[in-house]
Amino acid sequence: MRRPHGHPGRLLTLLVALVAALALLAGCGGDDDGGDSGGASTGAADTNVKGTVSMTAVWSGDEEAKFQKVLDGFKDRYPNVTVRYTSAGDQLPTVLSTAVEGGNPPDLAAVPQPGLVKGFAARGALKPIDFAEGTITENYSQGWVDQGKVDGTLYGLYFKGANKSTVWFNPRLFEDAGVEPPTSWEEFLQVADTLKDSGVPAYSIAGADGWTLTDLFENIYLRSAGPEKYDQLAAHEIPWTDPSVINALTLMKDVLGDRQNIAGGIDGALQTEFPTSVAQTFGDDPKAAMVLEGDFVPTALPADSNLVAGEDYDVFDFPAFGEAPDAVMGAGDQIVMFRDSPAARALVEYLATPEAAEIWVEQGGFSSPNKNVDEGAYQDDLTRQTATALAEAETFRFDMSDLQPAAFGATVGQGMWKDFQDFLRNPDPKATAQRLERDAARAYR
């Protein structure tokens, strides 16, 4: 799940956190002892590989505990390898950048920002993981393999993913209105009108969180403009004033401009954060019928709600546009290598296997891009549905805002987040395209 970027903390707090993280990293360097790394087979333990692997990721709390069980599975296969894991939380970009600058990065890291990975690769800080390309190609669709490459070289393995091309709905409200989950954009808008006529707004919009609005645009743009244009816009090879952008904004206006069909109206939406947008769609007193967000929506349900998947909440794929191929927009954490060793190679190979992913899948709260993960390992039908769509999508593209310079794509109160909040206030496609281009040009200087 995307982690919304908060405001920076005090300098002293950050410095203390960095010193602590760097101290951990400094004590966790890789060990080159041992023989050939080999692959992560499903057979007997490999006692030939020895050493220590340091790894850093954003995963903390419950996620860290679940990943530790994945590492326990690795230990079963490689008993002579010790993995020292450090959670850096949302400070991961700063921690890794500082460690690289200091010449002592961890052996491996799980990075959620492709732009950060490209930056490290351009600086020569990363090691290619082409030694694992066979295992990765066997277990991942070509789209996911390509997402791990920088200028044709494989640097990343996507271990954890998120499907953001989903729409979550209240089945009872759909039944009361006599509508079914739509498959096309035209049907989607018709369903929204019918829901409004039945007495309940169709949309619960988390306008206080700008990233939810960028997600909506990116889904529309990927389907209406196509993956080639998506890639060009993501790299700012075409301007945000391109006709394809204005067309997508016009389509987006069909939702955000339907003010009577948004829970709380525009003013209410601008004060609604993501968890609230979920809470007001499901439960005893729903205020809207749909939340247009990713596969992590169920994690935002009130803990004491006792809602039943498939009965109290359900999901359908983001609507298709014409004859466009199946497409999924999403996010993920990719494993990259800073320091090469047989032990680090063994862990990369292991994490590329379906067996490693299934350990976390079975614990819940995890979607794997690995296409060979047993669908039966997922805890419920809805998670199985969204995760399978993620792994098997004909076309996958990473969340565009995460591909941008942070000042444009992922900062509260500026760039894409603010421009789309302004679009929610006043859905003017041409004026919004001009603001987006102005801010993008500034960030790319």
pLDDT digits (tens, 9 = 90+) for 176-211: 999 999 999 999 999 999 999 999 999 999 999 999
Distance CA 25, CA 85 (A): 9
**Cβ neighbourhood burial of 242 (10 Å; 0-12, 13-18, 19+):** middle
The second-level CATH assignment, the architecture, of 166-327+402-443 is: 3-Layer(aba) Sandwich (3.40)
pLDDT of residue 201: 98
Within the chain, all domains assigned CATH 3.40.190.10 are found at 11-162+331-398, 166-327+402-443
What CA–CA distances, in Å, run from 183 to 65, 162, 320, 322, 425?
38, 21, 6, 10, 28
Homologous superfamily (CATH) of 11-162+331-398 is Periplasmic binding protein-like II (3.40.190.10)
How would you write the pLDDT of the chain (445 residues) with one tens digit per residue? Answer: 333 333 333 333 334 344 444 444 444 444 444 434 344 444 568 889 999 999 999 999 999 999 999 999 999 999 999 999 999 988 898 999 999 999 999 999 999 989 899 999 999 999 999 999 999 999 999 889 999 999 999 999 999 999 999 999 999 999 999 999 999 999 999 999 999 999 999 999 999 999 999 999 999 999 999 999 999 999 999 999 999 999 999 999 999 999 999 999 999 999 999 999 999 999 889 999 999 999 999 989 987 788 999 999 999 999 998 877 778 999 999 999 999 999 999 999 999 999 999 999 999 889 999 999 999 999 889 999 999 999 988 888 999 998 888 889 988 899 999 999 999 999 999 999 999 999 999 999 8
pLDDT of residue 278: 96
Q: What's the half-sphere exposure (Cβ side, CA atoms, 13 Å) at 235?
A: 8
pLDDT of residue 124: 97
Distance CA 179, CA 332 (A): 33
Indicate the angle between helix axes 227-234 and 210-225, nearest 10 degrees: 130
pLDDT of residue 27: 44
Indicate the angle between helix axes 210-225 and 243-256, nearest 10 degrees: 120
CB contact at 8 A, 314 and 139: no
The pTM (predicted TM-score) of the whole model is 0.81
